[in-house]
Amino acid sequence: MFVTKRQKEVLDYLKGYLAEHGYSPTFDEIGHAFGFSSKGTVYKHIKALQEKRLIRHEWNRTRAIEIERPEKEESSLPILGLVAAGRPIEAIESHENVKVPSEFLRTGRHYVLRVVGNSMIEEQIADGDFVVVQERVEAHNGETVVALIDGGEVTIKKFFKRNGEIELRPANENLDSMVVAGDRVRVQGIVVGVLRKY
């Protein structure tokens, strides 16, 4: 596959930015980094990289560029502990690893947590399941996140931010959302896959 020198430079910039920040740059930031005079030039390079299957990009969202991973059958990820799909519980560290299909993995660091509770059952995340988590500190509204509350309790919920508050919404019609001040919640990662053992 032929990649131009400039496309390679843009790809290397994206990889470096993602590794440093955990999320992708905006089109404005890419344009500024290369001195491009218009967003159209950025768009052209991003579209070309996507067509060559070197990146993935959701065009209707900002900071939604991901590097495509080379094909591998499985990766071994650490199980870092438990996460509540219900009331928040304290994370408990584990020293196990689990094999994860490569198609679950995106850019950056990943880990696995075991789910306790059924608050996310309508998202097909049940008690005892393992969730694959992409480590990130920012989330978009509607994403399923692993959230740290008040520095000690960890929960898995749908994330919504508005007016300085964060709603952590269960996917279970029998349960209520948690709404807390934005400074009480730290996003630890985004759920990108679910593993179930029978």
Query: Which are the catalytic amino acids?
Result: 119, 157
- 149 forms beta bridges with 153, 185
Residue position matching structure tokens 């005079």 = 37
Tokens of 178: 């948690």
For residue 46, give the H/E element and its range: helix 39-51
Three-state secondary structure readout of 2-56: CCCHHHHHHHHHHHHHHHHHCCCCCHHHHHHHHCCCCHHHHHHHHHHHHHCCCEE
Is-contact 115 187, C-beta < 8 A?
no
Residues 6+ positions from 162 with CB-CB distance below 8 Å = 141
**Distance, CA of 96 to CA of 51 (rounded, Å):** 38
CA atoms within 13 A on the CB side of 149: 21
